[in-house]
Amino acid sequence: MSEALETAAGADEALQKKLRTKTAHVVVVGLGYVGLPVALELGKARFTVSGIDVSGLRATGKLTATTTFDSVAEAGVVIICVPPPLSKTRDLDFSYILNSC
């Protein structure tokens, strides 16, 4: 196995352990009707959760909310919950996805 694959496999095992032991830091991008309940449930499950949303919502407990992407650098998992890529005229609109990256 190549060194890169061994490194990736080790990182995968480390993340799996953090998920099992609930020590993984999870970031949810988009705290709307999908992202906020997901973030809250992850917090209830005792994960440390950071939520990122353009509206700057505030939360308490194990969930912190922000408008910046600083927490992504420390995350083990990033979940993107933004509106679907269709405009009001049903044309493809990837702006929400691109703006979340």
Q: CB–CB of 53/33 below 8 Å?
A: no
E strand spans, 14-80: 25-29, 48-52, 63-66, 77-80
- Please state the domain extents for the chain: 23-99
**What would the CATH number be for the domain defined by 23-99?**
3.40.50.720
Among 2-6, 46-50, 63-67, 75-79, which stretch is predicted with the lowest mean pLDDT? 2-6
Q: CB–CB of 38/90 below 8 Å?
A: no
**Pairwise CA distance, residues 23 & 88, whole Å:** 40
pLDDT in tens, 71-87: 888 888 899 888 777 77
E strand spans, 1-101: 25-29, 48-52, 63-66, 77-80
- Read off the pTM: 0.73
